[in-house]
Structure 1
């Protein structure tokens, strides 16, 4: 009986593994922070519409998926300042955002920049391949 249940469950799992995700149903936002000597130990909190998503550390990269076309606000926060960027997201497109630390008087502040797809993809993949 147990063998019958296991054999019934296996084909479903195999089918699921073969299904590919259709990327036309969502937008991809690639957020990355290239390696810099300034602020090596600091991480910046990345937020979407004020909600914290993750901490972006030196030489790291993350991917977000957005499932509806709408303007969104992404921000990176340090102790002193917040850097914001507004994107008019369209489903099926890819966006590359670079986070660079900028040195202030007493602190290091993040700066978010929208990068063109060719340069952004190259920088993003270099970070992902390295890690």
Structure 2
């Protein structure tokens, strides 16, 4: 009985750490797509070019959620699209983490389906345009921006962000940011540690920009770091707000 109780408790904790997902499916006649199938992500201002609506989704904070950064909720949305046979998600609402300390992005959107090659090519170009690099044409370097918006959780705790082995590249203090010029292209891991370690690995390419959002999650003894790679158009808006 004791063992079963522990397993149940662990299950509750794991479920509590994950974002809450709700679906409203109006067309469930399609087979699920393969887990490696590409999903195109669009925002609410972009045309869906005659794509078929399968249903809607909502991904949010369960109240105890800790693993709910931008990439996590977007990947969860893609998984929902594949589950119901969709190859496009259109984000209709995006709410950023609240200043009181949550690291959660909350999104609503549509699951769509369109396998017309011409349409897919056009939608992909729209998606790439949203994340177009601002670096000069022909730049022989890449840039990595590391930033930490002001939050209440862990506001007095800063931490060192390291790249690969032990090279300190930034100090992530509340409300501060830094930018790095990178000439060594390929995969690099950026990580930080307080009572626990968190990391993000990026495959850096010449002439591209990358954004890492830093935050803090509650810990047992002290707040712990939370690093998340963010799409360019989302991160740039957050950086502009920090400048104001």
**TM-score scaled by structure 2?**
0.42
**Residue of structure 2 in register with 1:88 after alignment:** 203
Shift of 1:83: 0.8
Distance 1:31 1:124 in 2: 10
**Residue of structure 1 in register with 2:158 after alignment:** 43
Secondary structure of residue in 1 paired with 2:139: helix
Shift of 1:23: 6.7
Residue 225 (structure 2) pairs with residue 114 (structure 1): no
Distance 1:23 1:45 in 2: 32
Contact 1:44 1:57 in 2 (8 A): yes
Secondary structure of residue in 2 paired with 1:124: helix
RMSD between aligned alpha carbons? Answer: 1.6
**Residue of structure 1 in register with 2:174 after alignment:** 58
Contact 1:30 1:124 in 2 (8 A): no
Residue 141 (structure 2) pairs with residue 26 (structure 1): yes
Secondary structure of residue in 2 paired with 1:25: coil
Contact 1:102 1:111 in 2 (8 A): yes
Distance 1:122 1:110 in 2: 22
**TM-score scaled by structure 1?**
0.76
- The structure in which a higher percent of residues are strand is 1
Secondary structure of residue in 2 paired with 1:105: coil
Distance 2:139 2:184 in 1: 11
Identify which of structures 1 and 2 has the higher relative contact order when contacts are C-alpha pairs closer than 8 Å and 6+ apart: 1
Shift of 1:22: 6.8
Unaligned runs of 5+ in 1: 1-20
Contact 2:137 2:207 in 1 (8 A): no
CA distance change for structure 1 residues 60 and 25 in 2, over 3 Å: closer, same or farther? same
Unaligned runs of 5+ in 2: 1-135
**Residue of structure 2 in register with 1:5 after alignment:** none
**Residue of structure 2 in register with 1:100 after alignment:** 215
Contact 2:141 2:182 in 1 (8 A): yes
Distance 1:83 1:37 in 2: 19
